[in-house]
Amino acid sequence: MTAPLQWDVFCQVIDNYGDIGVCWRLASQLAARGERVRLWVDDASALAWMAPAGHPGVELRPWGGELPAAHEAAPGVLVEAFGCEIPEAFLAWAVGRAPDRQPAWINLEYLSAEAYVERNHRLPSLVMSGPARGWTRWFFYPGFTPATGGLLREPGLLNQRPAGFADTWRAAQPAAATAPERWMSLFCYEPPALPALLAQALQPGAVVPTRLLVTPGRATAAVQAALSTLPVQHGALQLQYLQPTDQQGFDDLLHACDFNAVRGEDSLVRALWAGRALVWHIYPQDDGAHHAKLAAFLDWLQAPASLRDFHAAWNGIPGHGPLVVPDGETLAEWTACTQAARARLAQQSSLVDQLVGFVLEKR
């Protein structure tokens, strides 16, 4: 057993759900292990519904706010998430508190399945300027293979929900005139193929009656915008607009659905742990760099051709055919693909386990 360390985790919010979502899961999982965590964030507003109860081991601090008092612990670990830069005032304070012993300094990178992740994982970078000149920071890459930093996963996560959980969860939702055969969650930006999905689901002769559970924010706005362009039909689609929920509630949603449309980083990882068929709306970049990132993920996933085609249409990648809503047999194939990927991931150490081990190695 080792004494707990003081972790200072820094997060600047770009995507208000993804960045703070990952950092909060990281901070709370560290705290659950007995570590002490200060989470410095420039916009913590989403935590009001994402983590309303907080965590007794996590102190929330405003980005650029007052420095820790003299009686507070000096940092044992610095974590800058997603390329944010720790404020120089904090670094100067940290150097002053422990001039002869550098804390372990982690640059926690974005998640990707691309080959460069394994090459760059755990590489050092000497700090050449500023108050921490001469210190070293280390690149730490989450990832999907044993040669990367792994993924966030709470202990016991895969056995957390009992058999029959999905049926119980669905029974608690608002009743509908007819019982849907398929439940699909939607957490997205503005997928180019969303109107096509809705149009097919709205057709009176739709293959599978579907309950579409739409998360608040951009997903709700995208659905409403798409519906305004479609003719009114009385098909097999049941729409349910959801209220904001905490992280546990979001994870429950993913476990309860047959098919999950997710976006960004945090929800992709949680959809993988849920073990259901999924489609990933990757964050679009103007230069098209997200196409290669998506292709690398699908290669790792060992996605069948039909799932690759669906992703291409969903993400608006040129050169592919129209979106086709999967039938039952296809959806079962996609589910099996996700479950096989989850089994591979379960054999690897979690991101928090690897981070803690790396820090102890460097101290």
Which pLDDT tens digit goes with each residue over 1-19? 578 999 999 999 987 688 9
CATH assignment of 158-346? 3.40.50.2000
pLDDT value at residue 215 = 98
- pLDDT at residue 209 is higher than 90: no
pLDDT value at residue 206 = 67
For residue 246, what are the contacts with CB-CB under 8 A and spacing of at least 6? 49, 50, 51, 52, 53
pLDDT value at residue 94 = 96
Q: Dihedral, CA atoms, 348, 353, 354, 359, nearest 10 degrees?
A: -170
What are the sequence ranges of the domains in the chain?
Answer: 6-151+349-362, 158-346
For residues 167-172, average pLDDT: 95
Instruction: State the pTM of this model.
Output: 0.96
For residues 235-254, average pLDDT: 94
- pLDDT at residue 232 is higher than 80: no
Fold of 6-151+349-362: Rossmann fold (3.40.50)
Q: Which of 9, 26, 39 minimizes the C-alpha distance to 266?
A: 26
Which of the four pLDDT bands, split at 50, 70 and 90, describes residue 187?
very high
pLDDT value at residue 17 = 81
- pLDDT at residue 116 is higher than 70: yes
- Residue 265 annotated as catalytic: yes
pLDDT value at residue 234 = 63
> Regarding predicted confidence, which is higher, 201 or 93?
93
Share of the chain above pLDDT 70, in %: 98
Q: In angstroms, rounded to a whole number, what is the distance separating the alpha carbons of residues 244 and 250?
A: 9
For residues 65-73, average pLDDT: 95
Which of the four pLDDT bands, split at 50, 70 and 90, describes residue 207?
low
Q: Which of 194, 149, 202 minimizes the C-alpha distance to 26?
A: 149
Which of the four pLDDT bands, split at 50, 70 and 90, describes residue 114?
very high
Which of the residue ranges 32-46, 174-188, 234-248 has the most confident prediction, judged by mean pLDDT? 32-46
- pLDDT at residue 233 is higher than 80: no
End-to-end Cα separation, the chain, in angstroms: 15
Q: Are 78 and 8 in contact (CB under 8 A)?
A: yes
pLDDT value at residue 1 = 58
Tokens of 188: 């997205």
- pLDDT at residue 286 is higher than 80: no
Tokens of 151: 């993924």
Residue with tokens 């760059």: 120
Catalytic residue among 19, 35, 251, 252: 19
Q: What is the pLDDT of residues 291-329, one digit of tens each?
A: 999 999 999 999 999 999 999 999 999 888 899 999 999
Catalytic residue among 80, 258, 265, 266: 265
- Residue 181 annotated as catalytic: no
The reply to whether 6-151+349-362 and 158-346 are identical in fold is yes
pLDDT value at residue 271 = 98
| Mean predicted lDDT score pLDDT of the chain | 94
pLDDT value at residue 318 = 86
